[in-house]
Structure 1
Amino acid sequence: MTVAVDLGTTHTGDPAELDLEELLSTRLLVQGNSGSGKSHLLRRLLEKSAGWVQQAIIDPEGDFVTLADRFGHVVVDANRTPNDLARIASRIRQHRASVVLTLEGLDADVQMQCAAAFLNGLFDADRAYWFPMLIAVDEAHLFAPAMAGEHSEEARRASLGAMTNLMCRGRKRGLAGVIATQRLAKLAKNVAAEASNFLMGRTFLDIDMQRAADLIGIDRRGAERFRDLETGNFVALGPALFRRPIPIRIGPTETAARSGRPVLMPMPDIAPDALADLVLTQSEEERAAEARPARRMLARRETPAEEAESVRETASLATGEILARVAETRAANDVSGLDETDERSPEERAAAVDAIFNDMLEDPEAAFRPVPVLYQEFLTHCRLKRLRGAETDMDAFRRRLSLARAGISGEETDGEWAEVVAVSADLPQEMQGVFMMLARAAREEAECPPDEALATAYGSHSPSRGRFLLSFMEEHGLIGVEKDFRGNRIVSILATGWRTRLPEVTLDSLDEARARRAARMARKA
């Protein structure tokens, strides 16, 4: 079935139509300097073909997310792990969903690796799901650069390989690449050469004009026309367009980009002195934004002291049992003189025990003390508060200590927490608190605790101990560990399906990533 997509009008006023079925077999390359109307052309093509073919848009600036409201595209935030993106891409092909992969706010290296993982996921889908699909890539020179630059070699190779697969081998898998670039000289030749349809917009540099002229088969003198093209005007050629170069003008679109074209507007009517005050005086919002990182740093410093989720027993098992028995004997002797009656309700006794644990864990060194030592301290507090019985049992103390160090109250042990506690019983005693610390972060969808916090919870000062604990638990099938393109971890609790979240992308994190990349490039130089 032939479907004619209305792109606009030719220079003679006739309809400029694109054969969608032919495009799926021959691919399309759009070239034009910034402001020539490339993104507008892509939007017109995607809008007019949305009802006929599945679409995926690689969107580095977040301009195409507006298609979601009008045409039902699913917006996929690329700030995920490689495995997540690959799984999403597989489900996209399976369910024939049109999507916009937004890379807005990500560092350049991360954008390249995200696009590579997503495209590879589409490419590697099962043969049963090889349905026809348009893959539109805006600013394609970012993902298929002609030469190595400021990007890491690993990111460049991954992204270039995925783009080459899309343009060279994607046809048999139903993938039709539609790529747009500002400059042909910046785009890898292996990627550009696989397109059979071309839409060439306004171009000023001689090298780009000559390459555009060579691709559409016009002489050097004819290449000068590219300088005179107005915004939204292109020269079209290809089996899905016209058999000879024809100037066309792109028609209007139903949706618009969030950024849009710059528009002049009047200057603010503010007195110079008042304007100077606005510029030179720090606002309340800025002061609050500067205070937030300081509060986060303070929270990180307090975490080992306030929560201290786990502990390492430094004594041997035999020694620990002996000390425990001695402690229990002393406790029995010490409480013999206490009043047998206790008029407090169970809730009041539980609150008293909670208060004891809170007092004990305020000590920063509590994370590094053996359990028997802590148990003796606990019994001392119990004597002062005239508590004895089930609350002072050694086994109950061990379980309660693990929960308290994970920041879990007694009420939280109901329901799914009971399953977490049961699973943790398969781990060595010194690792159980660390596991529940991870479970608590995953349940609250917080970020994964750093290596230092995991090591402290285990009773070690070495961050490498935290990485070992994660590897140990993953090998024993208790957790799943994935990393995103920045090395941030996502930990899944397999028994419950809880997952930690990735840290939010901020200007500070982007600056840190750029600094690390600059240092890496300096070392290579």
Structure 2
Amino acid sequence: MNSSIEIGTDDRGAAVHVNVQELLATRLLVQGNSGSGKSHLLRRLLEESAGLVQQIVIDPEGDFVTLADRYSHIVVNAGDYSEREIAAMGARIREHRASVIVALDTLDIEAQMSCAAVFLNALFDAPREHWFPALVVVDEAQMFAPSASGDVSDTIRRASLAAMTNLMCRGRKRGLAGAIATQRLAKLAKNVAAEASNFLMGRTFLDIDMARAADLLGMERRQAEAIRDLERGHFLGLGPAISRRPVAVKIGSTQTATRAGTHNLLPLPSAERQDMRTMLFAELETQAPPIPAPAPKPLAPDELLRRFAEQDAGGADRADVGDNDLSAPDVEAPDTEPAIVSALDDMLADPDAAFHPEAFLYQDFSVRCRMQRLARVPLDLPQFRRRFALAKGGIFDPADEKWRELLDAASRLPDDMLAPFVCIARAAMEGIPCPDDEALGRAYGTRSPGRIRRLVEYMEKQGAVVVRSDFGGRRSIGIPELGLSTEAE
């Protein structure tokens, strides 16, 4: 079987080949500044070798998903899957020898590094009987194997770097051949770059990168200037799979193209200025700004005291009648539930109510009950704390039979966690997306995202909830005792 593929031509127009069989044993490093043609080179390599070897592409920018339009590649949008699912998928890929493109473009940098680490480790940890040869292409490798710490956490950086090191250092015996591309050699970890025996060096301008590229190509430092003069799509190649001496390569054309925007100049639109303004702002100008709800009118102190006095006088009169007239019929105690619900509803109309101190809230509740001519406050402080928490979660009548199972499931949690749990459980019962951290923070009375994460973790440890998060950042939360789960959000 002929394992040689053509990737381009040299200065004399002669074809330059890559021996895929040798490449699998010796690995490949591609370097070049942005715009030098690295992605085009990788696409040519993948297209030409598509029928020879299983291909696995780690694609941080979504550049290679179009290969699936012409070849048998499967596109895996990593943002749609959880960590456990990505790991299981990596194992199945090795077992079934499927060519896949793992698209990471919907994820932020930390999620990309974490997902790549999980996926590469799953490939690496596959059972021995599944160690089939596979070409593993990693674009923008400096992101996954950085030479220095950056904005990401050390835990994620170490995990990603370890996975890339395993791929390049120990992957060969497991059938994994790394072909990595980077914009800058100085940003790529040296122990990852050093494991490659084949090199394709494109245009670069910084002295430190030119010096490293010249060293890898076996060129003298004064010859490194030639790397700066390379045109787009031109590379210097060296290695047992390419050539025993440095060779200039002009990369050939490809059958597929990226979906990214074109770099060619295009004529600007010919629309008149007023027409363009209409297209840009028409809908915005017709939309009326939202009208905020009017705030409740505060009562003057004199009016509030007058109402209190009337309330007390009315209560004293009724007490006198009850004490002095033994023949008077028993007076049925008034139903306080509507007043409680009304007071709680009015309190929650204030968007900052959940963030006020408990003592302030209970005092506010007491005043509102007195305003509704109740002889006494119907709830003590612990009862109020529970009813207010339920009301924040949308339950104003806890005696309603439809909430019985939900409240039973919440019984293992302290009262201060009742509101966020009820929000989650109601979302699960209604089949709507999981409340975000901001909504849970309002229910819990905090604006700290860290406290919300710790809250959800605590509820999960107590067995009250089960959290599932995918690499796209979407979270769904299940309630085991209800057998329900929210939609992902």
- Normalised to the residue count of structure 1, the TM-score between the two structures is 0.63
The gaps in structure 2 that reach 5 residues or longer are 294-330, 373-385
1:89 aligns with 2:102: no
- How far did 1:191 drift? 1.1
Aligned counterpart, 1:42: 42
Q: Is the 8 A contact 2:107 2:472 kept in 1?
A: no
What are the within-5 Å matches in structure 2 for residues 193-232 of structure 1?
Answer: 193-232=194-233
Answering whether residue 345 of structure 2 is matched by residue 362 of structure 1, we say yes
Rate the CA distance shift 1:492–1:195 in 2: closer, same or farther, 3 A: farther
Q: Separation in 1 of the partners of 2:280 and 2:485? A: 41
CA contact (8 A) 1:403 1:436 kept: no
Q: Partners in 2 of 1:113 and 1:148 — Cα distance?
A: 15
Cα distance between partner residues in 1 of 2:288 and 2:249: 52
**Equivalent residue pairs, number:** 416
Shift of 1:240: 1.9
What is the rounded CA distance, in whole Å, between the counterparts of 1:334 and 1:153 in structure 2? 65
> Are the equivalent residues in 2 in contact too, given 1:130–1:173 (CA < 8 A)?
yes
Q: 1:424·1:432 contact (CA, 8 Å) conserved in 2?
A: no
Change (3 A) 1:476 1:288: farther
SS across alignment from 2:245: coil
Counterpart residue number, 1:262: 263
1:145 offset after TM fit, Å?
Answer: 2.4
1:424 aligned partner: 409
Q: Which amino acid aligns with 1:76?
A: N
> Structure 1's 444 and 69: CA in aligned 2 closer, same or farther, altered over 3 A?
farther
- Once the 2 structures are TM-superposed, how far is the Cα of residue 357 of structure 1 from its aligned partner? 11
Greater helix content:
1
Question: Within 5 A, what are the aligned runs for 1:368-379?
Answer: none
Counting only pairs closer than 5 Å after superposition, residues 118-517 of structure 1 correspond to structure 2 as: 118-269=119-270, 274=274, 278=277, 283-284=281-282, 362-364=345-347, 405=393, 424=409, 427=412, 435=421, 437-442=423-428, 444=431, 446-450=433-437, 453=440, 456=443, 470-471=456-457, 473-481=459-467, 490-494=476-480, 496=483, 498=485, 500-502=487-489
CA RMSD across the alignment: 4.9
Q: What is the CA–CA distance in structure 1 between the aligned matches of 2:207 and 2:443, rounded to whole Å?
A: 62
Aligned partners of 2:484 and 2:172: how far apart in 1?
37
The one-letter amino acid of 1:3's match is: S
Name which of structure 1's ranges 118-127 and 37-46 shifts more when overlaid on structure 2.
118-127
Where 2:160 maps in the other structure, the secondary structure is: helix
Q: Is the 1:439–1:493 Cα contact (8 Å) retained in structure 2? A: yes
- Bigger Cα displacement from structure 2, 229-238 vs 358-367: 358-367
User: Alpha-carbon deviation of 1:179?
Assistant: 0.8
Which one-letter code corresponds to 1:453 in the other structure? L
The answer on 1:18 being equivalent to 2:1 is no
1:91-114 CA distance string (max 9 Å, x none):
443444433333325444443333
Letter in 2 for 1:498: S
Distance in 1 between residues matched to 2:266 and 2:286, nearest whole Å: 31
Whole-Å Cα distance in 2 between the matches of residues 206 and 433 of structure 1? Answer: 59
Secondary structure class of the residue paired with 1:245: strand
How far off is 1:16 after superposition? 2.6
Specify the code of the residue in structure 1 equivalent to 2:58.
I
AA at the equivalent of 2:21: E
Contact persistence 2:423–2:440 (CA under 8 A):
no
Q: Secondary structure at the match of 2:70?
A: helix
**Structure 1: stretches of 5+ with no match in the other structure:** 300-331, 336-352, 381-397, 503-525
Cα distance 1:219–1:473, how it changes in 2: closer, same or farther (>3 A)? Answer: closer
Partners of 1:68 and 1:75 within 8 A in 2: no
Identity of counterpart residues, as a percentage? 49
Structure 2 CA distance for aligned equivalents of residues 290 and 134 of structure 1 = 56
Q: Which residue of 2 aligns with 1:387?
A: none
Distance verdict in 2 for CA 1:217–1:436, change over 3 Å: same
Aligned match of 2:105: 104
After TM superposition, give the deviation of residue 195 of structure 1 in Å. 0.3
Counterpart amino acid of 2:125? D
Does structure 2 retain, via aligned residues, the 8 Å contact 1:32–1:183? yes
- 1-structure distance, mates of 2:271, 2:447: 58
8 Å contact kept, 2:200–2:235: yes
Instruction: Report what 1:63 is aligned to.
Output: 63
Q: Relative to structure 1, is the Cα distance of residues 164 and 284 closer, same or farther in structure 2, using a 3 angstrom cutoff?
A: farther
1: CA distance, partners of 2:333 / 2:408 = 36
TM-score w.r.t. the length of structure 2 is 0.67
